Amino acid sequence: VIDIRSLYAKTGLFTYDPGFTSTAACDSAITYIDGDKGELLYRGYPIEQLADKSNFLEVCYLLLYGELPDQAQMADFDQRVTRHTMVHEQMHYFYRGFRRDAHPMAVLTGVVGAMAAFYHDSTDINDPQQREIASIRMIAKLPTLAAMAYKYSVGQPFVYPRNDLDYASNFLHMCFAVPAEEYKVDPEIARAMDLIFTLHADHEQNASTSTVRLSGSSDANPFACIAAGVACLWGPAHGGANEAALNMLRQIGTVDRIPEYIRRAKDKNDPFRLMGFGHRVYKNYDPRAKVMQATAARVLDILGVENNPTLQVAKELERIALEDEYFVERKLYPNVDFYSGVILDAIGFPTSMFTVLFAVARTVGWISQWKEMIADPQKKIGRPRQLYNGATARDYTPIAQR
Ligand code: ACO
């Protein structure tokens, strides 16, 4: 690692690194990835252990505060989050301003940004207490806002949060309960939802997290920063990949059509890529994809759709790609999004909600990273340089003479 911060001041030199492939923009003690080994740790704990033994709310505590909570700390945190799950009633009007066929990610970007207008008593970034309340508010309210975006898109009444349910069950309840029928959350499905949240909770300096940090570096309020993260996450090269991956698997449709799509993915004249494949950092199997694959099989089994054609296509596509020289040479493996869509589809979410669910989960990662940055005495405004390749200085010509 070369620390080049003083290079420009001393010599006028700077580095050129489009896409930040080899530039660290910050120090962080939150998440560790070893892309060659396929290893992911939250605060030092392997993701496989957290997926197996912990739950999303405990992982939130771990990411935010750095240590696993004891029982009293966990009970207190749980209570603080649960108490903040309601959103201001006036928010309902804000939703009604959107076209009813708007993409739920477009709605979410708007409503998260609008939180700064509703909760301006927690926008002073210099006050640690306000930072803390803003963090709790976002972790607590994002599921409510996401569920409202879903309900609005399907034309059903909004469902209020329930304090007697755990985080994932409450979210499923707000999405799928309807006034006319009793809705009971299946604990196994809730566990799968919780697992998806845990696996997506943080991933160090990915595009959306870097966006949150860059926005926060100007001392913008936390809600504005998280809204910027949501907007960035929407892109199909990032969080939009789960939606794109399931659409692709459906488009392939049957196992016999896989070779045609593999051929297209390898053709440099064809813009098609295997969605849910490849990763900037993992040059080995994404550890989250392994957990996700097992969860997909379990959820489909519980729901009695074990012969799901989409899962069959996914498994066969993975098998063929992992034996293909093109993918082997470039170290392209399934990423977290390859199997998550299969699970979410089976639970009953439309593809347009997939990235919204990713945003709900990643909110804690964004906030933890934002808090870490704000508290850093070395904090500086993020201000990348550029390599200018435009015109050299020239004289203005009046319009009549051009
Ligand atoms: N299908 C086919 N070829 C691919 C794929 C893919 N999914 N991904 C990368 N490649 C090829 C590229 O064409 C390139 O080939 P070349 O060296 O012959 O030119 C090589 O692999 C390297 O690819 P880059 O685009 O340079 O790698 P980068 O690190 O910039 O991109 C990314 C990573 C964006 C994730 C890419 O793999 C991709 O587009 N994947 C599909 C989208 C996706 O699944 N995104 C989700 C990422 S995970 C997340 O956000 C949660």
Name the percent of the chain in helix, strand, coil, to the closest 5. Answer: 60, 5, 40
Atom 12 of ligand 1 has which residue's CA nearest to it? Answer: 330
- pLDDT at position 185: 92
Ligand 1, pocket-test mutation among 335, 338, 355, most atoms within 8 A of CB:
335
Instruction: Record the tokens describing residue 59, joined without a space.
Output: 């992982």
pTM (2 d.p.): 0.92
Ligand 1 pocket check for 273: Cβ under 6 Å: yes
Ligand 1, pocket-test mutation among 204, 206, 280, 357, most atoms within 8 A of CB:
280
Q: Which of 203, 279, 286, 345 is catalytic?
A: 279
* Cβ neighbours of 381 (radius 10 Å): 9
Query: Is 284 in a helix, a strand, or coil?
Result: coil
- pLDDT at position 109: 96
Point out the ligand 1 atom lying closest to the alpha carbon of residue 206: 50
Annotated active-site residue 279? The verdict is yes
Residue 388 vs residues 215, 257, 323, 384, 385: alpha-carbon distances, Å:
23, 46, 43, 12, 9
φ and ψ of 40, to 5 deg: -135, 125
Per-residue pLDDT tens digits for 58-91: 999 999 999 999 999 999 999 999 999 999 999 9
Ligand 1 pocket check for 283: Cβ under 6 Å: no
Of the chain, the percentage scoring pLDDT greater than 90 comes to 81
CA dihedral 374, 20, 361, 339 (to 10 degrees): -170
Atom 34 of ligand 1 has which residue's CA nearest to it? Answer: 237
Ligand 1 pocket check for 196: Cβ under 6 Å: no
Atom 31 of ligand 1 has which residue's CA nearest to it? Answer: 280
Point out the ligand 1 atom lying closest to the alpha carbon of residue 277: 7
Ligand 1 pocket check for 335: Cβ under 6 Å: yes
Distance of CA 216 to the CA centre of its chain: 18
Type of residue at 367: I
Give the Å distance between the CA of 369 and the centre of ligand 1.
Answer: 25
- Report, as ranges of residue numbers, the positions in the chain whose pLDDT lies below 50: none
- pLDDT at position 241: 85
- pLDDT at position 306: 67
Q: Which of 166, 194, 286, 337 is catalytic?
A: 337
Ligand 1, pocket-test mutation among 21, 330, 335, most atoms within 8 A of CB:
330
